[in-house]
């Protein structure tokens, strides 16, 4: 875990000596598996805590001690599985057509149809009616090779990935692009607007406004992490894209939620002008028509710490392709590395690419804010699930492969209840004070898309 803590902290540009200030309790293989998912999880969350401590110091406080529990981190990385609504499990799962399928060439492919528009695209590509019966999908897959299925679904605007080995992915043009870049890539720096020296040691992001333009898991995890550190996080969803209610409950704690067409220039620019951090989780280029490219943001709103996320990376032939954690696991060779004895592709014990990348996004944002507080230049940061996957595959493997975790994590000790909703609390503590959200998930789209009076601006 120490190796991962160093790697993740270095990836966001942190001073190597600061890692000594991170205390990890109950270090163990709480998640298990043939890849060091536990190390990645602790490293990513630890980088965020160290960045939060740095921000507290940059804003005029003594640097707080950062402590986390590896058990708590593991629970957080599987937060959707532990969420309760009305006392019953309500976590986001996979739709019947989101699955591994055996293809006609003997290979495997993964489809993703959790959202209605992706299910419709899958149906168009394979000539089947999207529904709850996987039979037609399995039959259609048996008539195509894995790569033919992948390409047909992508061409139809859907989401799919053919299974590749780590070596096969490394030789693929998209795999080479993903593996060539750093875990966190920083762009050209520019002067930022100074940040007020305020906020407590345990709430170093107090008064910070975060505009959250992300969806699904990774980006929303970044936003909920910043909210747990005191930031005012406003998530904006477009009116035309549906969201899964259970996904919002899992990642919405501490945030406000609003719906806005980003084509409304007046409202969009007012939100950007009033924010300190901009989180973007759409495909590269998808929002550039709204002037949300890194260069345009730096010119119009130089105060913004700009952090972007993509599935496949900002460069390469798959840069603009839709993707999710489950698909990246299959394409990158992770599913092959986790395969069963009979060759059936496996999965990570958590959607760790999403969660780890989300925490690294938060860490990058916090370090950018610390730079602003010191009057130093800031630079946009770019992350991707594929680069996190490449780092996981390249890391040292556990000395002992454990298919089950060595201990049973106690969700009850790490729950927080907001009315009828119970979720895993944010992992970590600063100066002995546990991270916390000020409120539970608010109704999706129920808030006004504007900043309240006051703040740092």
Sheet holding 100-102, edge to edge: 100-102, 108-112, 159-162
- The predicted structure's pLDDT at residue 205: 96
Structure-token pair, residue 132: 């709850």
178-199 burial by CB neighbour count: b if 16+ within 10 A, else e? bbebebbbbbeeeebeebeeeb
Report how far residue 156's alpha carbon sits from residue 57's, in angstroms, rounded to the nearest whole number.
50
Q: Which residues pair with 232 in a beta bridge?
A: 209
- The predicted structure's pLDDT at residue 183: 96
Distances (CA, A) of 447 to 163, 202, 279, 450: 41, 27, 18, 9
Nearest to 381 by CA among 2, 4, 14: 14
- The predicted structure's pLDDT at residue 92: 67
Secondary element (H or E) of residue 289: none
Cβ neighbours of residue 224 under 8 Å, at least 6 residues apart? 233, 251, 252, 253, 254, 255, 426, 437
- The predicted structure's pLDDT at residue 457: 47
Residue 67 near residue 106 (C-beta atoms within 8 A): no
Query: What backbone torsions phi and psi does residue 67 show, to the nearest 5 degrees?
Result: -135, 140
Rounded to two decimals, the pTM is 0.96
Structure-token pair, residue 399: 């000395």
Cβ neighbours of residue 299 under 8 Å, at least 6 residues apart? none
| Ranges of residues in the chain whose predicted pLDDT is under 70 | 92, 199, 400-409, 454-457
Report how far residue 275's alpha carbon sits from residue 256's, in angstroms, rounded to the nearest whole number.
14
Q: Which residues pair with 306 in a beta bridge?
A: 278
The CB-side HSE value for 332 (13 A sphere, CA atoms) comes to 29
């Amino acid at each position: 875990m120490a190796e991962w803590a160093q790697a993740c902290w270095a990836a966001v540009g942190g001073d190597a000596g600061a890692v000594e200030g991170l205390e990890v309790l109950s270090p163990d293989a709480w998640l298990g598996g043939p890849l060091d998912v536990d190390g990645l999880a602790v490293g990513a969350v630890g980088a965020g805590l160290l960045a939060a401590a740095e921000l507290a110091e940059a804003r005029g406080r003594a640097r707080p001690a950062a402590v986390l529990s590896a058990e708590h981190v593991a629970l957080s990385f599987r937060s959707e599985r532990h969420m309760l609504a009305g006392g019953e499990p309500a976590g986001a799962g996979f739709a019947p057509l989101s699955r591994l399928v055996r293809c006609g060439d003997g290979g495997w492919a993964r489809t993703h149809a959790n959202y209605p528009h992706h299910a419709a695209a899958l149906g168009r590509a394979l000539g089947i009616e999207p529904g709850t019966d996987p039979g037609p999908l399995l039959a259609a897959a048996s008539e195509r090779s894995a790569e033919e299925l992948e390409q047909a679904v992508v061409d139809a605007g859907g989401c799919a990935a053919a299974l590749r080995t780590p070596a096969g992915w490394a030789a693929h043009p998209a795999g080479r692009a993903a593996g060539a870049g750093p875990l966190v890539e920083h762009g050209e720096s520019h002067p930022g607007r100074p940040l007020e020296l305020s906020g407590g040691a345990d709430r170093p992001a107090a008064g910070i406004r975060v505009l959250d333009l992300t969806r699904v898991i990774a980006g929303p995890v970044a936003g909920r992490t910043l909210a747990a550190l005191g930031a005012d996080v406003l998530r904006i969803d477009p009116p035309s894209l549906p969201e899964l209610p259970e996904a919002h409950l899992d990642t919405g704690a501490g945030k406000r939620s609003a719906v806005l067409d980003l084509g409304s220039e007046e409202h969009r620019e007012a939100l950007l002008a009033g924010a300190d951090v901009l989180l973007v989780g759409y495909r590269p280029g998808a929002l550039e028509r709204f002037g949300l490219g890194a260069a345009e943001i730096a010119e119009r709103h130089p105060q913004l710490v700009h952090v972007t996320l993509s599935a496949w990376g900002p460069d390469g032939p798959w840069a603009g392709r839709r993707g999710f954690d489950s698909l990246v696991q299959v394409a990158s060779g992770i599913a092959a590395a986790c395969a069963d004895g009979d060759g059936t592709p496996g999965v990570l014990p958590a959607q760790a690419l999403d969660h780890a990348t989300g925490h690294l996004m938060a860490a990058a944002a916090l370090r950018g804010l610390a730079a602003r507080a010191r009057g130093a230049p800031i630079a946009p940061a770019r992350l991707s699930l594929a680069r996190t996957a490449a780092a996981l595959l390249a890391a040292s493997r556990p000395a002992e492969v454990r298919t089950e975790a060595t201990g049973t994590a106690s969700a009850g000790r790490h729950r927080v209840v907001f009315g009828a909703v119970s979720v895993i609390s944010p992992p970590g503590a600063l100066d002995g004070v546990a991270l916390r959200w000020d409120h539970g998930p608010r109704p999706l789209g129920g808030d006004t898309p504007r900043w309240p009076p006051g703040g740092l601006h």
